[in-house]
Structure 1
């Protein structure tokens, strides 16, 4: 029995960056031998075991064969006769197909170290094209390592394009797709993930609503970058620079989908795109079964982001309606994330990345003014039920009018 560290642990050590996940492969062992040593089996698809003391994962060396469509369409074979090289060749990228023993002796049959040094993301073998999930994985790695200068090898991009055109991407489950998308959006350069998907034709298959934004112009006076797709990439980039959470990044990706529906004869104006985009945002949310908080924020940002940009001009009654829509009294964090997404939208414009965004603090102040309206005095006056709600609304409106007057003084 021989045990090797494989994949990301080897890759990241060689890159000199922190190792977070350690995967191990066991060569020359049987399931019975692993169980006899106290390892606990997990996973139904292939033999993976948890170490009896550390709880870390150990997988038996295995080969795989394509047997159906999609990510799960594979037959696995694990036996003591499977070599380390046979196990490594089934992996996606050469930089993930290296192994090392406890003395850090490197096994690198597919030249992963050479590609690390050349900053290339290259597939290990033609079998890469058998697994549609790898399109998303490579795009995610491109986003993760873009700051180090990594790019996708042309021949790998070609295989990704073939996969995109084959219809195999449609066989991916929502859960597997969301896992890759959400991880990619939390990388340092999530806009690279979207760009690589577009470069290989996968964006058109997975998110045609986002793909449709490229080539759609916006008024240059507000959007010096003009192209709506490029603007979306810039907004995503800003969301990462400002360390925004996943909910905000997802909303940033989807906020302008309505502009993809504007008839060409109306370009570059996009009247009511906030409302026309809601059905598209809802469709993308449902397609990937995004978590509820991501879905809700994406819809709210899509509907109200121009309200945020025009916050200083809004009437007190419109401000109150906005605050009520977000339930700022019980869910203040959601409103804060909305403000964050809108600020990223404002900063995601060519040459305007550093411009101040006073709307953010103005809306925070408005929310605070509305929250400070006390319920107790109204209860003491005998208001209850629907009447209490109306009285509270009137008092909050008064507070917002006073806030506006003070802010504009």
Structure 2
């Protein structure tokens, strides 16, 4: 028997009320000290405030706390986890009303901020004006909008106004790159990742956090190939296509950065975008470094920006150019990258008004070309006396020839 109270809080309560699977559970402990939890067998893991792991379930249990803004940025808070802090006080510091509900096991819903009503109204609404004290909440709300867009959720106008206030304040610049990437990584995995960036644009945060993407708004493309015309609109359609195709994170990130170069096209050249691939490769690399994106994703993104238009033209490329594309991805040593790249290219092709269901044979063609190149018998070439540079040149010629023969077979069967 303990002399403190435990409540299930946050996402587990929210998703249960929505009828969605509950994937993880967080708990808040009211009326306890760290010493009491430690004595009960809980393991402390929190750095900024007292959080413990349950001795059996290993789920997180946090002491009820309040917070007070004392400085700039996400870390500019003092926390009070005194046993006198009430459940309602703890819920009051949370970001959205739908995340500020709690329930004791077997007990009634505790909902001091009408979160259940906002669930029914499909509203993402802030709990209190203190929302505007934490710049990370701009990203969190945008991510929740991406997660629940399919259910009809949208950001409440007064909450969007506070997000605009945060964007104007300059506090977004205090967010660590790791925090921005963590929220973006989660958002890319949601059913509607494009909504994340749309909400950031709506509140003025896209320019602050992703200026390369913001620069695409208002940049036209040829209507014959892009009926949606606007490049950022195309970007959003391509991200939605990537989600609908259930592409993995790396491919979705590649879609996110694939057309950044069009934001640097001189207006005099619009709606054409000659050499946007090379410009895009540099921008994608810079964005990945700035956000400290994992290296494998960063490399794939930059390569996709550079080579995606080659993939679109794959059926008409010369055999040596096809090999040049495959070699750029190091397909023989890193074969896992080509399917990711081609998934991103297919999402790009489908991410156009009226093209969502269009077939993309280039994907099958290039996978087959890579397989043909991989089957070149290197030992046989070495047996002919080739070595050193001569062997390398012979291998390359043989791979190009294998691709040429594959192209001929493809053309006959298609």
TM-score range, shorter chain: over 0.9
Q: Residue 80 of structure 2: SS of its match in structure 1?
A: strand
Instruction: Give the match's secondary structure for 1:46.
Output: coil
Partner residue in 1 for 2:266: 263
In the other structure, the counterpart of 1:345 is: 348
> Structure 2: how far apart are the matches of 1:127 and 1:384?
70
Cα distance in 2 between the residues matched to 1:317 and 1:35: 66
Query: Which residue of 1 is the match for residue 132 of structure 2?
Result: 129
Q: Secondary structure at the match of 1:19?
A: coil
Partner residue of 1:81?
84
Give the distance between the partners of 2:309 and 2:100, measured in 1 at CA.
47
Please, which of 384, 388, 399 is the counterpart of residue 381 of structure 1?
384
Cα drift, residue 191 of structure 1: 0.6
Number of positions where the alignment pairs a residue of Structure 1 with one of Structure 2:
409
Alpha-carbon offset, residue 387 of structure 1: 2.2
- CA drift of 1:383 comes to 2.1
TM superposition shift of 1:107: 0.7
Please report how far the alpha carbon of residue 386 of structure 1 lies from its aligned counterpart in structure 2 after TM superposition.
Answer: 2.3
Scaled by the length of structure 2, the TM-score of the pair is 0.97
Aligned match of 1:239: 242
After TM superposition, the score normalised by the length of structure 1 is 0.99
**Residue equivalent to 1:290:** 293
**Aligned equivalents of 1:104, 1:366: Cα separation in 2:** 62
Partners of 2:387 and 2:135 lie apart in 1 by 58
Residue number in structure 2 paired with 1:334: 337
User: Is the aligned partner of 1:188 residue 2:191?
Assistant: yes
User: Residue 55 of structure 2 is aligned with which of 44, 52, 56?
Assistant: 52
Q: Deviations over 1:272-325 (max 9, x none)?
A: 100112221112101110011110111111000010000011111111111111
Distance 2:236 2:401 in 1: 41
Correspondent of 2:222 among 219, 229, 240 = 219
1:36 aligns with 2:39: yes
Aligned residue in 2 for 1:209:
212
Shift of 1:372: 0.8
Q: Give the Cα–Cα distance (whole angstroms) in 1 for the partners of residues 393 and 350 of structure 2.
A: 38
SS at match of 2:325: helix
1:408 Cα deviation from its structure 2 partner: 2.3
Q: Could you give the per-residue CA deviations for residues 67-92 of structure 1, whole angstroms, max 9, x where no partner exists?
A: 11111111111111000000000000
Root-mean-square deviation (CA, aligned residues, Å) is 0.9
Detail structure 1 runs of 4+ shifted over 4 Å in the superposition: none
In 2, Cα distance between equivalents of 1:201 and 1:153: 16
Q: Note the C-alpha offset of 1:52.
A: 1.3
Task: Find the aligned partners of 2:221 and 2:122 in 1 and give their Cα distance.
Answer: 36
Per-residue deviation, residues 12-39 of structure 1 (Å, max 9, x unmatched): 1111100111010000011111111111
Match status 1:95 vs 2:95: no
Equivalent of 1:362 in 361, 365, 372: 365
TM-superposed deviation, 1:9: 0.7
* SS of match in other structure, 1:25: strand
Matched with 2:27 is 24
Alignment partners' CA distance in 1, 2:125 and 2:18: 16
Question: Which stretch of structure 1 is more off in the superposition, 150-159 or 40-49?
Answer: 40-49
Residue in structure 1 matched with residue 232 of structure 2 by the alignment: 229
